[in-house]
Structure 1
Amino acid sequence: MVMSWMQQQAHTLGDNTRLICRYHRLSTRFELIAEHAPATSAGSGSKLPEPHLVNPPMGVWSELILRQPLYYWPRTIPFNIAQRDYRLHIWPLLMWRSHVTCGQSGRVVIIECLDERKRRSLIRWCYFIIMNLLRAVS
């Protein structure tokens, strides 16, 4: 269950893995949760559940990868999912930006972890500029 002060977005990392990114605005805590589904066989079609479900179906298991407060400082945080190294890059100040890169290739795997957070930061940035321009003009 996602509260109003928490933002969440899910991204597919592979065929059977999904990365859920959560940001708690009140505590600045950022969480990464990996959901794994069993490999699909010819007879059964096991898929990952919707990310908002409270009780996932049998066979799907979750793994807490990261739970760390950001305190509004830029960070690069390494983590590991299924023996693959990744890096999370976060720039949380006024212009929020967060993406995940692969450790071996350096390729960006997830372009933006929380689109809604970035949109809100852009709106705040524009509001800040407009208000300061109005103060300077008056």
Structure 2
Amino acid sequence: MSWTQQQVHPLAEQTRLICRYHRLSTRFELIAEHALAASAGPGSNFNEHNLGYPPMGVWSELILRQPLYYWPRTIPFNIAQRDYRLHIWPLLMWRSRVICAQSGKVVIIECLDERKRRSIIRWCYFGIMNLLRIVS
């Protein structure tokens, strides 16, 4: 069983954002991968077909590595001279999204979809169990 959840999101034409979350330590990591302009050829840009493996000529940048300790956070960060804000609600109802600071638009709606699904399932399970407990 893997304790780390990871998801990859395209951020710009030559940049993608890797979100990692370690469940035991509550450590959240953001890694930006940039493709070099010299290697920009067919198949070198980040799209939905090659999100799993980075192409040649890619360099990574660790943006954030921070334990969350189950508390909501708003964390500002910068990628390629653009400011972004990461909003995380890691309590029972997980939510994490990236917002552009200049325009206020949501760039990434949900950083870890799997984590959000598990939180919703957990809420439904506890709700049904409590309802059954009250009814019986």
TM-score with structure 1 length normalisation?
0.88
Map of 1:78 onto structure 2? 76
Output the CA distance in 1 between the equivalents of 2:21 and 2:133. 33
Contact conserved, 2:10 with 2:46, CA < 8 A, in 1? no
Q: Please show how residues 1-138 of structure 1 align to structure 2 within 5 Å.
A: 4-39=2-37, 44-45=41-42, 46-48=44-46, 50-53=50-53, 56-138=54-136
Q: Which amino acid aligns with 2:28?
A: F
Output the CA distance in 2 between the equivalents of 1:40 and 1:47. 11
Output the CA distance in 1 between the equivalents of 2:97 and 2:58. 25
Q: Which amino acid aligns with 1:25?
A: R
Unpaired stretches in structure 1, ≥5 consecutive residues? none
> How many equivalent residue pairs?
133
TM-score with structure 2 length normalisation?
0.89
| Cα deviation digits, residues 7-57 of structure 1 (max 9, x gap) | 111110111000000110111111000000012678x3333494554xx54
Output the CA distance in 2 between the equivalents of 1:60 and 1:79. 20
Contact conserved, 2:39 with 2:56, CA < 8 A, in 1? no
Shift in Å at residue 87 of structure 1? 0.1
Unpaired stretches in structure 2, ≥5 consecutive residues? none
The percent identity for this pair of structures is: 82
CA RMSD of aligned residues (A): 1.9
